[in-house]
Amino acid sequence: MSYDAVVFDNDGVLTEITDWAVLRGAAADAFASFDVDPSDDDLRTVLSHVTVDGLEAVCARHGIDPEAFWYRRDTNYADVQRREIRDGRKPLYDDVDAVRALDLPKGIVSSNQHATVEYILSHYGLHDHFETYYGRQPTVEDVRRKKPDAHFIDRALVDLGTRNALYVGDSESDVEAAHNAGIDSAFLRRPHRADAVLSTDPTYEFETLAALTELV
């Protein structure tokens, strides 16, 4: 099928996943800045797949303002990921050259921090290859807007001037977000998703970004 644009997730699609131990440490440091010694459950709640209800509950348990805590948590995440990128521990996947070669408008929509996405584009010299990009701002409101909500995909499509677009991701929330936006989805089954079972069917599934060359 022919598309007028392609939008990509970042982590697990363009760049490798950040080590969970690094993110766990950043989350623990966020609690420490409020003089809280977090439990394993506390850390799991704010480590990944965060919900507003879960965030507010853990903050209420420790008497922390959710907005202040989340700003610190997300700022810590952006800081440690910039370090991981600089030190070569969060590289681009080898097949990102296939993305560079696509001769049509492209965007990025990530549930990572917007500051992290900006740093990735700058560090790896990718700014000229993407017309638009969105990550989250460090606010509780943007936790509500993250995938599978279609908010940021919709914003990217407005920037790209088309809804005839394909969204490429490596998780079920990516597939659901594309469907919520009313566009086609491609599930990228990287090795870290080899055993993933999806409850929402993607439009396409492939193992490498090189498959996009023929698809679009």
The C-alpha angle 35, 60, 53, rounded to 5 degrees, equals 125
Domains and CATH numbers, the chain: 5-16+91-215 (3.40.50.1000), 20-86 (1.10.150)
What percent of the chain lies above the pLDDT cut of 70? 100
What percent of the chain lies above the pLDDT cut of 90? 97
Tokens representing 67? 């907005």
**pLDDT at residue 164 in the model:** 98
Q: What is the pLDDT of residues 14-27, one digit of tens each?
A: 999 999 999 999 99
Does residue 74 surpass a pLDDT of 90?
yes
**pLDDT at residue 158 in the model:** 98
Is this structure's pTM higher than 0.85?
yes
Q: What is the pLDDT of residues 25-50, one digit of tens each?
A: 999 999 999 999 999 999 999 999 99
pLDDT band for 216, please (50, 70, 90 cuts): confident
Q: Residues of 166-180 as b/e, b for ≥16 C-beta within 10 angstroms?
A: bbbbbbbbbbbbbbb
Distance CA(27)–CA(76), nearest Å, equals 7
Amino acid 190 reads R
Q: Which of 189, 183, 192, 194 is nearest to 216 (CA)?
A: 183
Does residue 214 surpass a pLDDT of 90?
no
Does residue 93 surpass a pLDDT of 90?
yes
pLDDT band for 215, please (50, 70, 90 cuts): confident
Q: Are 160 and 132 in contact, with CB atoms under 8 Å apart? A: yes
Mean pLDDT, all residues of the chain: 97
Amino acid 80 reads V
